[in-house]
Structure 1
Amino acid sequence: MSDDEGGRTNLRMPEDDEVFAEVTDMLGANRVRVRCADGEERTARIPGRMQKRIWIREGDVVLVEPWDWQDEKADVVWRYEKSEADQLRDEGHIQ
């Protein structure tokens, strides 16, 4: 179903310890700076399984899983397409 039809797609939502975040800066070495929905700025790591398959750019909306032993760091779990990010904004999940 395309966006032109006005249909809502089911999106991956955060699980227990995951939060929405927006990529603010590319740091290199498979790391990005993200601003999380809980107000924290974190350095997030892009795992190997995502590096070659999914391109992450500044401004992208992602799901991150903060590290429980070091709160200023996180792992990127999922990246939303632009249309999916717009849908999340429309539904009030993110600003």
Structure 2
Amino acid sequence: MAKDGDETRRDLRMPDDDEVFAVVTEMLGANRVKVRCADGVERTARIPGRMQKRIWIREDDVVLVEPWDWQDEKADISWRYEKSEADQLREEGHIQ
């Protein structure tokens, strides 16, 4: 028997070693967005081709980004969380 409020909890994809939580702050066009990462860095992230037409990314979405090794101010988006999943991450203290 589940406790109240516990029945909606889902196992969410958590960041790998080279990934960081981020929030989309601005749409730049040309499959690029500006993100504010959990490590405090503003990065330009690109939306990979496999996500372009299937997953719509908007401002204030919570995403996982993979910062580039050779250029720290850029990153690739690897995952987008639904609004309910982002709320769950906030409740559990993973993001602000």
1:56 aligned residue = 57
TM-score, normalised by the number of residues in structure 2: 0.93
TM-score, normalised by the number of residues in structure 1: 0.94
Percent sequence identity over aligned pairs: 84
User: Could you list the per-position Cα deviations for residues 35-55 of structure 1 after superposition, in whole angstroms to 9, with x for gaps in the alignment?
Assistant: 000000000000000000000
Q: Can you give the 5+ residue segments of structure 1 that lack an aligned partner in the other structure?
A: none
2:40 aligned residue = 39
1:19 aligned residue = 20
Q: Any idea what SS the aligned residue of 2:86 has?
A: helix
User: Could you list the per-position Cα deviations for residues 2-43 of structure 1 after superposition, in whole angstroms to 9, with x for gaps in the alignment?
Assistant: xx7733100000001100000000000000000000000000
After superposing on structure 2, the runs of 4+ consecutive aligned residues of structure 1 that deviate more than 3 Å are none
Letter of the 1:20 partner, please give it. F
- Cα separation, 2, equivalents of 1:58 and 1:81: 13
Letter of the 2:19 partner, please give it. E
- Cα separation, 2, equivalents of 1:62 and 1:15: 13
Note closer, same or farther for the CA distance 1:5–1:92 as it changes in structure 2 (3 Å cut): closer
Structure (1 or 2) with the larger CA radius of gyration:
2
Q: Any idea what SS the aligned residue of 1:59 has?
A: coil
